[in-house]
Structure 1
């Protein structure tokens, strides 16, 4: 066996000093630096720095004074708090604190003197009064004794010389004593006196020396009074024995005195004392020209709260810690690698635990102890992380470790409380279950179904007097929650929650303590106390107040210290019953059953101690024992049968359920239960305490691992098949054995009703699809389209279902559908929402599939919205009418002709309606129709179309135009006027005398239209045979035809034709005025003279001149142009012209009238304007004209004299002529 590597806890002497060496050299190079602080945290490496420096500088002498105090700062703090808590007097507290500080200071001073005294050679401090116990040599004692005897003998020789001489004389008879005669001589007295004097001198010298060094005579008494030096008992040792202290330090024969661990006492006054002493010592040394004595203080950084430490020390050397929680992991790695055990640990564990280790000595000792435990009690079955956790626990809390070994420590108490922790968790779960059950009960009793109804019950008035629901009422909130649960159908969810909570309860009993700890209960779990039989409590305050208490939490919470912690603390002897096993056997004999989860360490050994009859008792129900029997069925079959029979007879379903949750081998469990209790699954399938997941896992294991015969026994009355098929989430299986499951599903004829794709294993779902192991329903078909065909449009799935399927004729879904095509059609019709938009290909396949009932195909067409290209693709002619009626056939000449000629129904209403709905013009070929459908087929179609008034005009026109037939002798009656117009427009009715006669008599209202559209032929060929009537002529003249046609038609009559209110063109109107003038229209035409064209004005002037008498007779006001034309005509008499002037004079000024008079040529009237003396015949016309002149003030008056009219002129005013207004 190779040597095990250990780590020593002493300071290291080979530290790489670097800057520390320079700093210490600086200290020794400056004699005024005498008090030096080497500061750093505990285990920072302060001692190692000093030891390494000593090793490199052997010329320097170091004396170490170690003042270790193992009472932690936390403990002191607790004691101080406890002391303070127990006192109510502030002054008393202060006095106690002062007394404690003085006591500690005295202890420190005593320890310093004691260690200093024992490290200095006694021979170098002879004057000290401090007694040092030393071993006295035998030789020294012998010499002193011999000198004392010699002194006494020679003193007696002198005092009793005469007697001695007599005595020697009496002995002379004995010759061998003759040598004594010399002592009776007088000279012998001189010798004796010399010896006595010499010994006395030596004694007196030594006595004086002792008195000088030891001061053995300390006091003097005068008259009964004793004088004591420093008689106060609480005086400082340094003050009381200052000379002694200075003497000891000065004679210590050291260059440096190192004070270690003084900071653990938290007494800063000691530094002041030592500084004073150092000053006094070095004062004398300076006088004696000696090197200074330096004090080194190894202290932690926080010994002084403020900046005072720079006042105490001449130089401070900070030491960077070699380890803290940030780098302890690296140290762990280094040490365990050296020990060859690093690979046995979980690196995450080392990383975690290292965060709590900040002391190198503790770390090294943990390593050393692990190596000891590992090599002493370690086994291959142990977890080395847990072993290390125990070692860490032992080093951080050694006292509690010892207490835990006797079952009174914190750790043992915590694990002994595991049952209480479980019960607390179960109680909390029970509270939640009860709360859910109460909600379910309230839901069952609640009669309201709407939140508004709840609000109406709990009304309140707001600030504005409006009634609103009292939402702050607890009753309202609670009842509203119940109504919401009912409304959202969440009662099933509440029941599922209860099932889940029951499962958690059963799982709790098997959980380790680390699994029971949560963020919510962690403080409660670790806040424990131990109570003995006498009621004495230990609340572990010392441990809980430690800065390392979180380390214990970490180790336990993460399972590194668990229920098996005892296995890592002591030896274990194999082949012996453990305490747990003994307790279990005892529970059977005592008839006090343990919980089913009670741990049995050695089931084999326990089973060997049991009898068959014991397995009929409830006390043998144990998970670990059951697991072992299942695992060893071959050797323990009889026990297994009895065990299962007990479970079966007593219906211990709860045991079965909880074991299922923790069974080490579910396969063995399920196989055995199915073999010896085949009805078990059917019995628990509706038992709610078995969770859904457990039931499904049980079924899966049955399918995976049980023989067909056993599975068939379980599937009695198709129980198993129905259960699996009706479970939508059954395919939600992690890592399923697909082939095995498919074989079993097929063998059991399982067809899944509605599998849940989202939760299902995708490979298994694919296999279900490929093997058609799902019910033939719309939901399942849609599911396959959505997830296998990747169709995301749900409208397509609903409305064009078969189109999606037929796209992949090789797919399993296509095969499955066509195997059940009639059922498929039923499904589609029920779920399409009365709308189907299949592709033409899909429609053709379904409509032409004779395996589908005709009624279903008819219904399918009624829902269909897809238009087919060709009617002929529908093999069954009986569907043609429906397709046309629904507009499901493309509007085309081909489909119309196909129906007309092949349906046997000709141009029926269905075809007519189909033709009418189209918006496309036909392209028909007579030759193609006749060649495809037989000779004269086009003519037959034409004959049917021409009499079909139901066709809309556009379609009627289009078909007639395309067929291009015409009638020379048209004799078809009862065609609508609109259709006749179309025939006329298309010239289907040819312009012949026969057709004119037929149209004039039969279609009188369209006769003019017929003439209009054939005007040229009529004029050229027919008018002579069938002349036009005057009324017909007038109608035609109103038409928009060429003027030449109108003039030609007018030329065939002599009857006058009216032109007023007619929109005849100028040429037609001129021709009528010239050849067929209606004299009754003269005056109206003259009235509108100015509105006429120049061409018509010219005709009107001619007519006015011709019919001037009518104008004069009616005193018509004429247009200026026409007036001027007439008065300028020489053929018109002057009298008539004057009459025209009289009728129009109101429009003229005096000057204009004068001009017109001149045109007329009446000399007498001209005199009126030249101030002559005109004379006029007494006539009616002259009288009227003169009256007009008088009214216009052109003349003053006129009078009759001598048979004539004479005129009086107006007198001029201011030589100005009065103007006629």
Structure 2
């Protein structure tokens, strides 16, 4: 069944095509006999085979003329040319030109155009010879010629006879609208093809396009602009579109259905009644040239600098306008256009804050906006889009304040951007004025170990945050920053922190102890501070801590305290000598005995008494004053005094020997140095030791016991 339907439709088409062909087009070798043997019946049924024609001697010539198109189905019309009372001569000549395919100029004047139109077959309207301005005008005006009209339009389309169309519109301007609407209904792609031709001038195309928008129904318009050629052309129009007021609404309706967006509306002025409709209907592309033109022409904004650097600020002065609402619905496009045209943006602060609250702007554009922004940002928290904070801080537009530092830190942490921001600020920081205690504490804990902060800013922050760091355990803090931490007592003095500082920052121990001495002293009560003793001794010497406090520390030290040939304050010396002396320091004390205070000397004497045997055995160096004081000391027995005296005789000169002999009551030996005197020496151990020493020192030449062994004889050296 379906095949039969298709065959029927195909036959209908072939039948119609045969009707529209000229007779000469139907005659072929295959159809010749059939066509020329045709018969005809009249009204009463009589059949004629045209034998009188076929028997004529000119029948072959007649066949030739018909076969080659010299005689056709219009022969009767042709014959009227020779008789009066029929068509006008001009009209007959036109018809003949169509038949003979000899086209006349399209502006050839016809007299009875309707009669001409009625005389032409449908197929004639497919020929170029039918292109006549008068004829086409009638076809357009009369609805009963729709088929013929469309055939002419179709041949214009197929054969690209655009010159005829242009000429017709110029000649028959009153038919312009009907021409456009008729063509658009039949030939949908008319504008696309006309605009691609390249030989049609711009003004014609502009008028043609505007006419389409003003008159063509919406259902046809959609098809006409299917490929967007018409809307693209309209969008690129730079000249004002001038139409009468009654056409404005239809134009706008059409433009809206085609999504028209005029690229450049700077030629429009408020005197043009279409201009407000273009603005209210958003029939323009969002670009800075269009936006600024509207601001200037419609809203009276005329400050070039503001329009360039504060464009969004200027726009926000007109919140209730169609312009502002249009831009709000297309912020992505607006910001993109703004950024292309602007090197610097100096919008008012409220405008900047409002912009970043909008969620219809992409992150990328917000970031690009910030890169060009020079408006100082008072509070970083006002910028709700925190992804832009890095660019705000890098661009140097964030106001330098403690609050901004804290808020940025809370959101982003102590980034390199924030460190640079802190370092570059000219204002002195004081976090005492801020209230965000939790954030401040977090900042403190992070910034303590941050060596990239300048020392100046580090001190300002540390000193005003006001926090302490218990159980301090951070390594590799710079020297200057450790000084700051200790200066402001940030590192609490506890056993853990003290131990860490001692191991990792020993050069800071002195200041650390000094500024936290009470706490240190308290720790020392339950801890042996042996490791710190050299430092404590230094601090005592420099009057940083008192002797009494140092002694309190020493009292809890179990080990030796080295003097290292250093003289300390009196009480310290006494304490060390009596409680913590190293045997390695005894030499120093004995040798330098003379330089010490009397109280210290007494301690050294006591030390000497304890080590008298070693002194006598010369295990320690001999100092005469030290020996003299020992000789004076009653606690030393007679035997040891004689032993000390022997050392004096051996090491010192005669006068020193005399003085020491007097101290121990050996006046008889003193007399030996006076040649006039003859002292006697009883035979005993002391005298023997002394005489032996005198002889060794060559104070006497010899000595011996007398016969009774009661006294020693001695012999002096003879005078030379």
TM-score tier after normalising by the smaller chain length: 0.3 to 0.5
TM-score (norm 1): 0.29
Q: Taking CA–CA contacts closer than 8 Å with sequence separation of 6 or more, which of the two structures ends up with the larger relative contact order?
A: 1
TM-score (norm 2): 0.45
